[in-house]
Amino acid sequence: MRIIKLSAIDSTNTFLRQLSTSEVLEDYTIIVAESQTKGRGQMGTTWSSQPSKNLMVSVFVDVSFLSIEDSFYISMATSLAISKALKSFQIKNVKVKWPNDILADQKKISGVLIENVIKNNQLQATIIGFGLNVNQLHFDDLPNATSMQKVSGKAFNLDEVLTAVIGYLKDYMEELKNQQQTQLKSLYEAALFRKNKPSTFQDAEGSMFSGFIYGVSNAGYLRILLEDNVLKEFDLKAVKLLY
């Protein structure tokens, strides 16, 4: 496992992707930045973080054993790894807000951005980027953000937290390698925020509707149980969970 620590970078994912085109990377090559000027999140959102307080990480993982159709399992494994690491540090009420935001006490503590490397229509590798709020206490204009220290009252060693996340990520990736997709998916669905609870959603046109989160499809679509027991699948751009 190779860890490259940087004081400041525009984006750890961008840096790691560029590195992967210039040299052959060993499995679990990791980029860690103290500060990130252009951190990216899902669907073009940004990830902002106080320098040296949190983890801003990108990991290169060989996923050539997975088919493209099963690529959402990378997201499941990452979400579960971060969640399990948080629980190992006694962070309570940890849930996964579909597809891969991690919540603690219903507030966002971690975000994930996955960028897959595909050649000849086959998965080769993945670059897993994640931001994890560890010791930051103040989040200007982000009322729904929290951190490990904020929810627990304790400060944490960043290297220890990183080691825990990567260790669990390796465990879950090994499960995928051993074709234990069903078990992994069950764990992920059990961790979903507001699963089996009446919730309000907004579709791509801005209309609101009610339903129950039932689970996810193998491709990662959110399965929502609507009125009259109709089960419908939505992709990331088609639905937003409001409350």
59-93 pLDDT, tens digit each? 999 999 999 999 999 999 999 999 999 999 999 99
pTM: 0.94
Q: Who contacts 151 (Cβ-Cβ below 8 Å, separation ≥6)? A: 91, 92, 104, 105, 107, 109
Confidence of residue 243 (pLDDT cuts 50, 70, 90): confident
Q: Is 43 strand, coil or helix? A: helix
222-225 and 208-216 beta bridge pairing: antiparallel
Average pLDDT over residues 178-203: 97
Q: Does residue 47 have a pLDDT over 70?
A: no
What's the CA gap between 149 and 146, in Å, rounded?
A: 8
Identity at 172, one-letter amino acid code = Y
What's the CA gap between 152 and 41, in Å, rounded?
A: 25
Q: Does residue 35 have a pLDDT over 90?
A: no
- The pLDDT value recorded for residue 188 is 98
What's the CA gap between 52 and 33, in Å, rounded?
A: 8
Given a contact cutoff of 8 angstroms between Cβ atoms, the answer to whether 215 and 98 are in contact is no
Structural domains present in the chain? 2-190 (3.30.930.10), 198-241 (2.30.30)
